[in-house]
Structure 1
Amino acid sequence: MDSSNANISLYSALWLGQTLDLDLLSPCVLNFANRLVTVQFYTWLQTLFVTVLLVLTYYYVVLPMDYVKDLSDVGYGHLLEGSARRMALRKGRRKCDLVREMRRLRKVGSLPPVYPNGWFCLLNSSELAPGEVKHVSALGENFAVFRTREGIVHILDAYCPHLGANMAVGGTVRGDCLECPFHLWRFRGEDGKCSSIPYSEKVPDFVRAKTWPSCEKSNIIFVWYHAEGEEPTWHVSSIPEIQNGQFWYRGRNEFVVNSHIQDIPENAGDLAHLNALHTASMLAGSDLRYVERLFYRFARHVWSGSWQPSADAQHQATMKLHHEFRLFDKFPLIVMDVHVKQIGPAYVELYLTTSLGVVIILQTVTPVEPLLQKLEHRIYCPPSLSLFAKFILYGESVMVERDIMIWNHKSYVDKPILVKEDQSIRRHRHWYSQFYSENSPRFSFQQENTDW
């Protein structure tokens, strides 16, 4: 067999998966075959490695993190463990049924009004495309949030003043108006005035849909809520680094919390809880029953800070935190200083300064019901810190889940017993009380919906 025929036979056998009689092949052909197989194998490994690397890079660096948990996902793990699990299974009960029962039986305490006055997040900007309308239920109200083709956001009361159809369900954006699907009445987003009734020669001047003051800042759509119907007395500002694209959006977390809205921002005034609830390593997870396991004690978080109302703006407060993530309680691995700006009752800006650079986290709290809050954090950073920002967001998510485990089960104490070191809690409550007014809804007048 000449060399050319041997090569042809070899290629044919390799492609067809045939078995070769190696004794018939010359040593040079065998050597060639071995090299060919080796090259192909290493080429395949390289391709696999590059593919896996690209996928991991896309997932962990390029793709924003989306960490979303429902109410039953956090703080209720004990309901389906051990004997409780066996009993629940015998009765055919699901975890959400047990959570619903716990919400019903919990002593809520003497609560402040359930909906404070201020700016509240209804949607993220990315959730509302041009020409789209969405229905949002929050603050005891139903909103029709729509964006014109030009990108301008308007918020109307969802229910048409004609016959009560929900204009956000099946409604259509027409220019700067929202068209009701029931009878095609159109309402201007700017002032709510009815601009068209297709089967009527004249549109009465008094026909209007209720409008809600709104703004879109730092990729968040806000609505102004005030129990007395007053116009906004202060405003939310855009963050320049986010607005000009210098900082990129790198992900978010979202939680549903079973608590009064004030419990969440009050954490800022409760400095003592930091080194109680958040000292254990983030690697230990969020279940407070297990965070002090011996295996994770090699790493600890150490916190110090202060909280005070802003001297410049009555509706703002500031918190300064110093954080160290230490190994063996001696070696600081991550050190950061956090400047926190509480702006109104439900919006917080956190500026994290680290040795690698600055990261920004935006927090919003939206009351879905009197005792059901939607809590979100969004993280922004320079492109070079994308992977680090996701690490920060994951750690922050674990720490928030520890808080949620407390919030989901606590009772509100209106006259707490405080020691001298707890005075910032008292000052925070006094500061936060400015967001309630005479007609602010109270829990006693609300029918809580447990069909979450």
Structure 2
Amino acid sequence: MLEWCVGIGITLLTFLIYFAYFFKFNWVKDLRTETKTRQTRSFYAGNKHRKVGKLPPVYPNGWFALLESSQIKNGQVKHVCALGENFAVFRTERGVVNILDAYCPHLGANMAEGGRVKGDCLECPFHSWTFRGKDGYCENIPYAEKVPHVARVKVWKSCEVNNIIFVWYHSESAEPDWQPQSHTYISNRSWRYQGRNEYLINCHIQEIVENGSDPAHLTSVHEAAKSSKENHKAGLHMCHKLVLLERFNVMEIDVLTEQIGPSYVELIITTSIGPMCILQTVTPIEPLLQRVTHQIYSPPLLAPYANLIFLGECVMFERDMKIWNYKRYERQPTLVPEDRGIQAFRRWFSQFYSEHSPTYETAMKDLQW
């Protein structure tokens, strides 16, 4: 009997150690795939006649996450649909990431579906035309004596920062004037990746990132949003508390949030036992369909605490997700003085829209061809 109890104890201890230090979260929720649940049936019924409101442009200008670095290996190509575009994201055999328009200019084959990486080029699966990743020019047509000088596919500017692959999108085709920067503790690997979550949410991109400027629905203490000297950045300071029985503060964490462009947020979390970081990305897949991811990093010894923090973040985010999936965008909301942060954030965010930014109506027409 004693040996049996010891065995169970060792097994439980092993499981706890594994979960605390080696388990990596991969918390993925796609409402569209859960078709058998009452909640999903209710969702589609409720959204059939949903009023979207007077929406801002649906695709802001800026850097957007397409993939995480671990999701694409050397010599691999992936097809990513986002921002009303089809991207062929490929990593060369030397490990360099390039992003081309997915469609071959020859006869329109999707080069990310069955295409092959050859050196620094991407080969079309239809007639084996190969296109250079750096400039998009066709390098070889196996059955032709000469390659036409007009044989070229669009190259999308990209960067790989903090283990995330970003693409630059701008409705006026303007060049990037900023880009995400490497986080010191992530780039030098002193902080360890602890896991991720991923959600598909039915709303406008601004609804999600605007959430940080709305303190009224959060159980936290906020400081006012602060604009950075760099126009593409905005900051917010929060102090989250876990209160038991409405009187005991069990856990208090300090969160410094930096919004970098329209779609990327870094949350630096300071706790009584050490710091950690959560990276949030929001990418419009369609006008009212956003893919949101969070990745958490922490010092190795803080892994158990980081897992606990991240689990709490998942639960809180899903609470808001239930609101976003059904709400209408209010362009001129009825506000009280305590809501001043919302209007300040909207003024800041408006810089990422320009004259030809796609509207909901024009983007939907492109999807319905």
Aligned to 2:222: 305
- Residue 69 of structure 1 aligns to a residue whose secondary structure is strand
| 2:44 aligned with 1:100 | yes
Higher gyration radius (CA): 1
Q: CA deviation at 1:273?
A: 1.9
1:337-356, aligned counterparts within 5 Å? Answer: 337-356=254-273
Matches within 5 A, 1:14-93: 42-43=2-3, 45-71=5-31, 80=38
Query: In the alignment, which residue of structure 2 is the partner of 1:228?
Result: 172
Comparing 412-421 with 110-119, which one deviates more in the overlay? 412-421
> Percent of pairs identical after alignment?
52
Other structure's SS at 1:430 match:
helix
For residues 245-264 of structure 1, what are the structure 2 equivalents within 5 Å?
245-264=189-208
Q: Which residue of 2 aligns with 1:210?
A: 154
Deviation at 1:150, TM superposition (A): 1.1
Over residues 291-348 of structure 1, what are the superposed CA-to-partner deviations in whole Å (9 max), with x where a residue is unaligned? Answer: xxxxxxxxxxxx1112424231001000000121122233221111110000000000
Distance 1:96 1:406, change over 3 A: closer
Question: Is contact 2:222–2:236 with CA below 8 Å preserved after alignment?
Answer: yes
Per-residue deviation, 1:100: 3.2
After the TM superposition, which of the residue ranges 442-451 and 49-58 deviates more from structure 2?
Answer: 442-451
Give the 3-state SS of the residue equivalent to 2:218 in structure 1. helix
Q: Once structures 1 and 2 are overlaid, which stretch shifts more, 324-333 or 377-386? A: 324-333
Q: Distance in 2 between matches of 1:273 and 1:205?
A: 58
Report the counterpart of residue 287 of structure 1 in structure 2. Answer: none
In the alignment, structure 1 residue 371 sits paired with structure 2 residue 315? no
Deviates more, 1:99-108 or 1:330-339: 99-108
Amino acid at match of 2:264: Y
SS in 2 for 1:264: helix
Task: Return the letter of the residue paired with 1:239.
Answer: H
On the 8 A contact 1:125/1:219 being kept in 2, the answer is yes
Letter in 1 for 2:225: Q
Measure the CA separation in 2 of the matches of 1:43 and 1:424: 61
Equivalent AA in structure 1 for residue 60 of structure 2:
P
Q: CA 1:364/1:425 → structure 2, altered by over 3 Å: closer, same or farther?
A: same
Tell me the alpha carbon deviations over residues 211-233 of structure 1, each in whole angstroms, 9 at most, x when there is no partner.
10000000000000000111111
2:324 corresponding residue in structure 1: 407
The alignment's C-alpha RMSD in Å is 2.1
Amino acid of the residue matched to residue 137 of structure 1?
A: C
Residues 221 and 61 of structure 1: CA distance in aligned 2, closer, same or farther (over 3 Å): same
Shift in CA distance, 73/146, structure 1 to aligned 2, threshold 3 Å: closer
Q: Is the 8 A contact 2:228 2:235 kept in 1?
A: no
Distance 2:271 2:259 in 1: 21
For normalisation by structure 2, the TM-score amounts to 0.95
Mapping of residues 118-157 of structure 1, within 5 Å: 118-157=62-101
- Indicate the SS of the match to 2:107: coil
Report Cα offsets for 1:354-401 as digits up to 9, x if no partner. Answer: 001001000000101100101111100000011111110110111111
Where do 5+ consecutive residues of structure 2 fail to align? none
**1:317 aligns to 2:261 (yes or no):** no
Kindly indicate whether the alpha-carbon contact (under 8 Å) linking 1:257 and 1:375 is maintained by their aligned counterparts in 2: yes
Aligned residue in 1 for 2:211: 267
Instruction: Confirm whether residue 358 of structure 1 aligns to residue 275 of structure 2.
Output: yes
- Cα distance in 1 for partners of 2:366, 2:57 equals 17
1:398 aligns with 2:342: no
> d(CA) in 1 for partners of 2:47 and 2:81?
20
Relative contact order, CA 8 A, sep 6+: which one is greater? 2
**What's the offset of the Cα at 1:42?**
4.6
Please give the secondary structure, in 2, of the residue aligned with 1:105. coil
Higher strand share: 2
Structure number with the higher helix fraction is 1
Quick check: 1:116–1:440 contact (8 Å CA) kept in 2? yes
1:200/1:270 Cα in 2 relative to 1: closer, same or farther (>3 Å)? same
